[in-house]
Chain A
Amino acid sequence: MFLQQLINGLTLGSTYALVAIGYSLIFSVLELINFANGAMYMLGGYVTLMVYLALKGHFLISFFISILVVGFVGFSIDRFSLQPLRKKKSPRMAALISTIGIGTIIENSIMLFFGSETKSFPNKFDFGKFEIGNAIVSWTQVIILITSIFLMVVICLVVYKTKIGKAMRATAQNVDASRLMGIDVEKVISITFIISAFLATIAGTLVSMYYQNVDINMGFQVGMKTFAAAVLGGVGVLHGAMFGGITIGILESLGASYISSGYRDAIAFAIMILVLLFKPSGLFGKNQTTKL
Chain B
Amino acid sequence: MLNKALNFCAVNSRFITFLFFLFALLFPVFFKTPYTLRVATMSLMFTMITLGLNIVTGYMGQTSFGTAAFWGIGAYTAAILTTRFGFSSLIVFLSAAITAGLASLFLGLCVLKLKGYYLAIVTLGFCEIVRLIELNWMSLTRGPLGIMNIPIISFFGVKFKSPTENYYLILILLAITTYIVSKLMNSRFGRVISSIREDEIATQSMGINTVSYKIQAFIIYAIICGVAGAFYAQYMRYIDPTMFTANQSIEMVIMVIFGGMASVPGSYLGAIFLTVLPELLRDLLEYRMLIYGFIMVIMVTVKPEGLLGNINLIHIKQQISLDLDEE
| A23-43 contact mask (Cβ, 8 Å, vs B): 1 or 0 | 000000000110000000000
Interface positions of A from 232 to 286, Cβ below 8 Å from B: 260, 262-263, 265-266, 269-270, 272-273, 276-277, 280
A97 touches B257 (CB 8 A): yes
A260 to B132, CA, bound (A): 12
Question: Which one of B110, B133, B135, B293 contacts A104 once the chains associate, using CB atoms below 8 Å?
Answer: B293
Seed contacts A91-B304, A276-B110; 12 additional CB < 8 Å A-B pairs:
A33-B121, A90-B300, A93-B120, A98-B301, A105-B293, A108-B289, A109-B290, A112-B290, A262-B135, A263-B132, A269-B125, A276-B111
B297 touches A227 (CB 8 A): no
| A105-119 contact mask (Cβ, 8 Å, vs B): 1 or 0 | 101110110000000
Closest 10 interchain pairs by CB?
Answer: A101-B296, A104-B293, A105-B293, A269-B125, A262-B136, A101-B297, A108-B290, A108-B289, A266-B132, A101-B293
B118 touches A280 (CB 8 A): yes
B286 touches A270 (CB 8 A): no
| A76-106 contact mask (Cβ, 8 Å, vs B): 1 or 0 | 0000010011000011111011101111110
A265 touches B128 (CB 8 A): yes
B294 touches A105 (CB 8 A): yes
Chain A neighbourhood of B287, CB < 8 A: 108, 112
Q: Closest approach, in angstroms, between the C-beta of A219 and any C-beta of chain B?
A: 12
Chain A neighbourhood of B290, CB < 8 A: 104-105, 108-109, 112
For residue B91, CB closer than 8 A to chain A, the reply is no
Question: Which one of A90, A93, A260, A290 contacts B63 once the chains associate, using CB atoms below 8 Å?
Answer: A93
Q: Closest approach, in angstroms, between the C-beta of B179 and any C-beta of chain A?
A: 29
Number of interface residues of A (CB under 8 A): 43
For residue A224, CB closer than 8 A to chain B, the reply is yes
For residue B113, CB closer than 8 A to chain A, the reply is yes
Chain A neighbourhood of B133, CB < 8 A: 266
Interface size grouping (class) on chain B: 35 or more
Chain A neighbourhood of B124, CB < 8 A: 224
Chain B neighbourhood of A231, CB < 8 A: 118, 121
A273 to B129, CA, bound (A): 11
A94 touches B304 (CB 8 A): yes
A276 touches B114 (CB 8 A): yes
A92 touches B293 (CB 8 A): no
Q: Closest approach, in angstroms, between the C-beta of B303 and any C-beta of chain A?
A: 10
Most buried by B among A32, A85, A91, A93: A93
A96 to B290, CA, bound (A): 17
Q: Closest approach, in angstroms, between the C-beta of B25 and any C-beta of chain A?
A: 36
- Which A residue's beta carbon lies closest to that of B114? A276
For residue A206, CB closer than 8 A to chain B, the reply is no
For residue A220, CB closer than 8 A to chain B, the reply is yes
Chain B neighbourhood of A107, CB < 8 A: 289
Given known contacts A93-B116, A269-B125, A98 and B300 CB-to-CB distance under 8 angstroms: yes
Q: Closest approach, in angstroms, between the C-beta of A88 and any C-beta of chain B?
A: 8
